[in-house]
Amino acid sequence: MVITTAGAAACAKCKFFDNAEASADLGLCRYNPPISQPSGEAAGIWPKVEASDWCGHFEPVAA
C-alpha cells in the first residue's frame, strides 16, 4: 500500500484538475460530473478547487 501525503496529492498535480480559470491558484475538479443547479435554466458546474487542495480521488498527471 502506497501512502501519499496531502502535498504530493495536491489538485494541481492531479489529472482531473482543470486550471482553465483566470487564476493559477484556482481550477475545476473534473472527477465527478457537473453539479446540477436549482434553476432548470442554469447549466451544471464543476466544483472550484484551489491548486493546493486534495482529496481521495487523486490520480497523478501522466508524464
Report whether pLDDT(16) > 90.
yes
Amino acid 36: pLDDT: 86
The residue that leads in pLDDT, 30 or 4, is 30
What is the extent of the structural domain holding 15?
1-63
Alpha-carbon distance of 51 to 58, in angstroms, equals 12
CB count in 10 Å sphere of residue 11: 23
- At 58, phi and psi to the nearest 5? -55, 130
Cβ-Cβ contacts under 8 Å for 63 (sequence gap 6 or more): none
* Residues 28-62 pLDDT 10s: 999 999 988 887 777 888 999 999 999 999 999 98
CATH number, position 31: 4.10.490
Structural domains of the chain, count: 1
Alpha-carbon distance of 29 to 19, in angstroms, equals 9
